[in-house]
């Protein structure tokens, strides 16, 4: 595998959770992480026909940051992501 991995994240909760899972997997294998979360809807975007409104990408970036820091890279150092 490569020393750096780009993970594409979709807008669904399943995709966001799969991204978080992939982050933990790759960080534990000593890979640096790049995350493309450009598909996540903007803050205030309507969900389910306007029934609810999206929280935007920031809460999910914080979730990804927690996933990165939850594992060490072989016990040597913490993970890194951009």
Q: What is the CATH number of the domain that holds 46?
A: 3.30.1620.10
Q: What is the DSSP letter of 81?
A: B
> Can you state the angle between helices 13-28 and 58-69, rounded to 10 degrees?
30
More confident residue, 5 or 1: 5
**What's the whole-model pTM score?**
0.86
Output the six-digit token pair for 50: 């306007």
Q: What is the pLDDT of residue 75?
A: 72
State the total domains in the chain.
1
pLDDT for 49-80, tens place per residue?
999 999 999 999 999 999 999 887 767 777 88
46 touches 63 (CB < 8 A) = no
Residue 61 lies in a domain: yes
pLDDT for 9-48, tens place per residue?
999 999 999 999 999 999 988 889 999 999 999 999 999 9
Residue 72 lies in a domain: yes
Residue 25 lies in a domain: yes
Q: What is the pLDDT of residue 77?
A: 77
Residue 82 lies in a domain: no
- Which range marks the domain in which residue 14 is found? 4-77
Using DSSP's 3-state secondary structure scheme, residue 35 falls into: strand
């Amino acid at each position: 595998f490569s020393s750096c991995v780009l993970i594409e994240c979709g807008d669904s909760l399943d995709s966001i959770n799969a991204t978080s899972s992939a982050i933990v997997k790759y960080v534990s294998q000593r890979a640096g992480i790049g995350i493309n979360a450009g598909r996540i809807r903007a803050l205030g975007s309507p969900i389910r026909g306007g029934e609810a409104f999206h929280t935007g990408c920031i809460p999910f970036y914080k979730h990804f940051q927690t996933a990165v820091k939850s594992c060490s890279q072989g016990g040597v150092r913490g993970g890194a992501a951009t």
